[in-house]
Amino acid sequence: MRELTYREALREAMAEEMERDERVFLMGEEVGHYNGAYKVSEGLLDRFGERRVVDTPIAETGFSGVGIGAAMVGLRPIIEFMTWNFSLCAYDQLVNNAAKLRYMSGGQISLPIVFRGPGGAAHQLAAQHSQVVENLYAYVPGLKVITPSTPYDAKGLLKSAIRDDNPIVFIEGEVLYGRKGQVPEEEYTIPLGKGDVKREGKDVTIIAWSKMVHVALEAATALAKDGIEVEVLDPRTIRPLDEALILRSVKKTNRCVIVEEGWPFAGAGAELCYRITNGAFDYLDAPAVRVTGEDVPMPYAKNLEHLVLPGVEKVVTAVKSVLYRS
Domains, the chain: 2-183 (3.40.50.970), 196-322 (3.40.50.920)
For residues 239-261, give the mean pLDDT.
98
Give how far Cα 91 sits from Cα of 15, 62, 65, 237, 239, Å.
27, 11, 11, 20, 18
306 is catalytic: no
DSSP state of 251: H
User: In which order are the strands placed within the sheet that holds 24-28?
Assistant: 53-55, 24-28, 76-80, 114-119, 168-173, 144-146, 237-239
Q: For residue 259, which amino acid is it? A: V
Helix (H) or strand (E) holding 136: helix 134-138
pTM above 0.85, yes or no: yes
Q: Can you give the pLDDT at residue 326?
A: 76
For residues 269-280, give the mean pLDDT.
97
| Contact in structure between 101 and 109 (CB atoms under 8 Å) | yes
Q: Which of 12, 16, 129, 229 is catalytic?
A: 129
Q: 221 has which bridge partners?
A: none
Within 13 Å, how many C-alpha atoms sit on residue 143's CB side? Answer: 25
Whole-number average pLDDT of the chain: 97
Rounded to whole angstroms, how far apart are CA atoms 246 and 254? 11
The 10s digit of each residue's pLDDT in 206-227 is: 999 999 999 999 999 999 999 9
123 is catalytic: no
Q: Which of 60, 80, 172, 231 is catalytic?
A: 60
Q: Can you give the pLDDT at residue 3?
A: 98
In the predicted structure, residue 272 carries a pLDDT above the cut 80: yes
For residues 83-91, give the mean pLDDT.
97
Cα dihedral 301, 305, 308, 311, rounded to 10, equals: -150
